[in-house]
Structure 1
Amino acid sequence: MTAPGPDDEQTPTTAPAPRSRNKLRRRINAMTSLTLALLVVGALYMAFAPQPQSASGQPDDAAMTAQGQQLYTNTCITCHGSNLQGVTDRGPSLIGVGDAAVYFQVGTGRMPMAAQTAQAPRKPPLPQFDPNTPEGQSNLAALGAYVQANGGGPRTPAGPDTSLRGDDPARGGQLFRLNCASCHNFTGVGGALSSGKYAPPLNQASNREIYTALLSGPQNMPRFSEQQLTPAEKKDIIAYIESVADGDNNPGGSRLGGIGPTSEGIVAFVVGMAALIGFAMWLGAKS
């Protein structure tokens, strides 16, 4: 055997340098292309995406909230405080009451109150908040937007007033008797409560006013969430109230003043007692 010569020695093998550089270059190019593609997609989305809207379907306009703050400062700040926190012996906090409470209280003239009484009565609203005028509708929406921006709360439903009337007044009558008749009477004529408060008659209220009252719970009235009364059930109650106010539905039979079965019971009692007394007198005379 012969010893290996210099030419027979094996040299260590290494990966070709050009191949490694090409692989690194391809990775850098792929990352650069992906980054540019993401930037282009983001720019296109920002250019063509629709503007965000609020829950009420109107653009979330900071100018409307600012207008509402100015209206609040002019008409509400004395009783409800500079930060809606309320003022002792003047007015409660408005944080979290929502836009629905603003529509009901201000749109019906209950606020601002003329005097500190047990209950705020319905009266003509301030001209700038009259819901029957375009200016009043705009100002009510602005004031509601400002209150809504400070704590959230129930919102006034969108759409025309007629869209808040349900299709089943019979079911609405059942729900009304279960949830409302104890205060508002069977036909919505209202009634007295304790401590100088009262349940007002409902024949003067619009569909939107009734709906926002159900949402916000003014005075002694409780709030009815969607778990207690669904939107469809609230609308059916409004359909029942509207039918009674129009005279289309007399749940107590003859109206007799429009206060439901109570009046019929009184008539039956008086007539029955008179008949019994007359019969007793006839028996006495005969004996």
Structure 2
Amino acid sequence: MTRITAWRRHPLARYAVLIFALALVGMAYTAFVQVGKPADAALASGRVDDVAEGKALFEAHCSSCHGLNAQGITGRGPTLIGVGAAAVDFQVSTGRMPAADSGAQAPRKPMADWVNPDAISKLGAYVQSLGGGPQVPGKEQVDAKLGDAGKGGELFRANCIQCHNWVGAGGALTRGKYAPNLNQASPTQIYEAMVTGPQAMPVFNDSTITPEEKRSMIAYITEVRAQKDPGGFGLGRIGPVTEGLVAWIAGLSALALAAIWITAKKRQKS
């Protein structure tokens, strides 16, 4: 205790305490600024008015489900704090939001009458200002010409075919959910889906799949759409289940017709 008391009475003790206090304040300020950076980025990417107008649009069209402060309402809609402008652009541009009903999954549908690119941009700016999150990708990030379709195919088969099928035709999931067909999705929407994880889809952040790899996956998805089906009918490209069903039905029908023809021929001879 004597040593501690002596140190406290040392002429330099007050300066040490002051430096320590300043360091704590600096650390707290740095942490606060880091948290606020995504929101600052949203404001820097457009006009401050965009956020205000986006808030007005949100209150008019979205607050009934997501709350006036985007905090979410139980049984209606989740919180939008931290989801980012990319989630807004994906959900609204595909017509999934505003939702028509509260089913297991929001289907793709035509956009609402009040929705246009400018309105989506302003809504995104407002949601981005609430807590950051993934932003809408730039043109270079989604340019399929800059991607490697071969590498993208490998990544797609490793991460996506379990739900979306090898050509992105989609498929059923559990509890009424499903992986949608990707043929209607734009390159921007595909990228946004990967970084935001809508519905039952997992999030593929940049540490899991890099932006370059995402661009290559987009190159594969858009390229496979134009591929021809050398075997004839594609049957929706759903896979061997559909092909087997058609083969089974066609085979049984052919056998039945053959049996009828053979039987009728024998009756004529008798």
Cα distance between partner residues in 2 of 1:161 and 1:59: 17
2:61 equivalent in structure 1: 75
Tell me how many residue pairs correspond in the alignment: 214
Q: Deviation string for 1:12-37 (max 9, x for gaps)?
A: xxxxxxxxxxxxxxxxxxxxxxxxxx
Task: Give the CA deviation at 1:84.
Answer: 0.6
Q: Which has the higher helix share?
A: 2
The alpha-carbon deviation at position 266 of structure 1 amounts to 3.5
For residues 216 and 172 of structure 2, what CA distance do their matches in structure 1 show?
25
2:72–2:79: 8 Å Cα contact kept in structure 1? yes
Structure 2, unaligned stretches of length 5 or more? 1-38, 253-270
Relative distance call for 1:162 and 1:148 in structure 2 (3 A) is: closer
CA distance in 2, matches of 1:206, 1:64: 24
Answering whether residue 165 of structure 2 is matched by residue 185 of structure 1, we say: yes
Distance 1:58 1:127 in 2: 29
Q: Work out which of the residue numbers 240, 243, 246 in structure 2 matches 1:262.
A: 240
Which of the residues 53, 74, 86 maps onto 1:88? 74
Name the counterpart of 1:225. Answer: 205
Correspondence for 2:188 = 208
Distance 2:77 2:243 in 1: 42
> Tell me, what secondary structure is at the counterpart of 2:114?
helix
Larger Rg: 1
Letter in 2 for 1:220: A
Where in structure 1 are there 5+ consecutive unaligned residues? 1-52, 130-135, 275-287
Runs of 4+ in 1 over 4 A off after TM superposition: 53-60, 252-255
Name the structure 1 match of 2:130. 150
TM-score (norm 2): 0.71
Matched to 1:174, the amino acid is: E
Are 2:40 and 2:129, in contact at CA under 8 Å, matched by a contact in 1? no
RMSD: 3.0
> What is the CA-CA distance between 1:265 and the residue it aligns to?
7.6
- Whether the 8 Å CA contact 2:235–2:243 is kept in 1: the answer is no
Which residue of 110, 117, 120 corresponds with 2:96?
110
Distance 1:210 1:65 in 2: 25
**Cα distance 1:231–1:165, how it changes in 2: closer, same or farther (>3 A)?**
farther
TM-score (norm 1): 0.67
Whether the 8 Å contact between 1:190 and 1:202 is mirrored in structure 2 is yes
